[in-house]
Amino acid sequence: MQRYPQVQKKFLGTVGITAVGMFGKGSGWGIPTAPIHSLFLTLGGITEKPGVVDGQIAIREYLCLTVSLDHDIIDGAPAARFVTRLKELIESGYGLDESTVESQQAVAPGASKKS
């Protein structure tokens, strides 16, 4: 299938995603072994680390995320813009409205943010 990109795209798509963070504590990183997709995202775990908030050091939660791009298909500048925008969307909680946050809190009242 590697020699037939149209067939590969039809059956495998152009974007791959996996989540390894659900397998325990820690960061969880991943690098795809073969360039099957032009974009591959690996979601790791959420870990707490010191970070700067309003000029002060505070404990923050960080999502470990690996973004792998096929440089034969995607140039560096558009890839950098994509990663910058993805980071902005994740940090802002894009797509999560107040009702989503409230329903999550109602399901597990008093539970910590980490699951």
User: Where in the sequence numbering do the catalytic residues fall?
Assistant: 71, 75
Q: Is 43 helix (H, G, I), strand (E, B) or coil?
A: strand
Q: Are 70 and 57 a contacting pair, CB within 8 Å?
A: no
Least Cα distance to 61 among 100, 25, 13 occurs for 25
Give the pair of three-digit tokens for residue 14.
């152009």
Helix (H, G, I), strand (E, B) or coil at 49: strand
How many angstroms separate the CA atoms of 1 and 15, rounded? 16
Phi–psi pair at 19, nearest 5 degrees = -125, 115
